[in-house]
Amino acid sequence: MDVATYQALIEALNKAGHRLTAQRLAICRYLASSHEHPTPATVYAQVRQQLPSLSLATVYNTLALLRELGVITEMGADMGGTRYETDAHPHVNLICLRCGQVVDMPLPDLTAVQAALAAQSAFELRNLRLDAYGLCPDCRQSQPLSADEKTTYA
């Protein structure tokens, strides 16, 4: 698990005056150890192994809280639910338009961009996110967007 990320999550909760319950700590621990982009259901299933009494509603509550604090971000709900990602290290998400696969890549330096945005807007910025949409190697090869596919991204 990424300890720095874990502590960042905990500290965000703490600083905002939210209680550090066993459920929240466990969820944060999982988020800090997952290098994927889990859905609420996934988080629930995994954390439940350590905390059998955990409720799905609590997972939703906690994810919403962390999202509002800006320490995790919500990705499009492509299939089977919204996915969340922990903002550990800045990166670009390469997202396949067809199968929804997400690949991470190192992020170019955007601090200048962020500074410019902060200066030009009245928003209190928490984080930036750069997504690149396209077709992954598999889908690209299987058939470049042709007529006989109407099916949804499954």
* C-beta of residue 34 within 8 angstroms of C-beta of residue 86: yes
- Supply the minimum distance, in Å, between the C-beta of residue 38 and DNA: 11
Rounded-to-10 torsion of CA 50, 103, 92, 64 = -30
Q: Is 119 in the site for its own copies (CB under 8 A)?
A: no
Applying CB under 7 A, which of residues 3, 57, 130, 145 lies at the interface with DNA? 57
- DSSP states along 10-59: HHHHHHTT----HHHHHHHHHHHH--S---HHHHHHHHHTT-TT--HHHH
Q: Write out the binding residues for its own copies, residues 29-88 only, by CB under 8 A.
A: 61, 64-65, 67-70, 73-78, 82
Q: Write out the binding residues for DNA, residues 73-92 only, by CB under 7 A.
A: 77, 80-82
Applying CB under 7 A, which of residues 41, 117, 130, 145 lies at the interface with DNA? 41
Q: Is 115 in the site for its own copies (CB under 8 A)?
A: no
Residue 23 binds: one of DNA, its own copies, none (C-beta under 5 to 8 A by kind): DNA
* Encoded tokens for 105: 């890549």
* CB-based contacts of 21, cutoff 8 Å, min separation 6: none
Q: Is 137 in the site for its own copies (CB under 8 A)?
A: yes
- Supply the minimum distance, in Å, between the C-beta of residue 88 and its own copies: 15
Interatomic CA distance for residues 17 and 56, integer angstroms: 23
Q: Is 3 in the site for its own copies (CB under 8 A)?
A: no
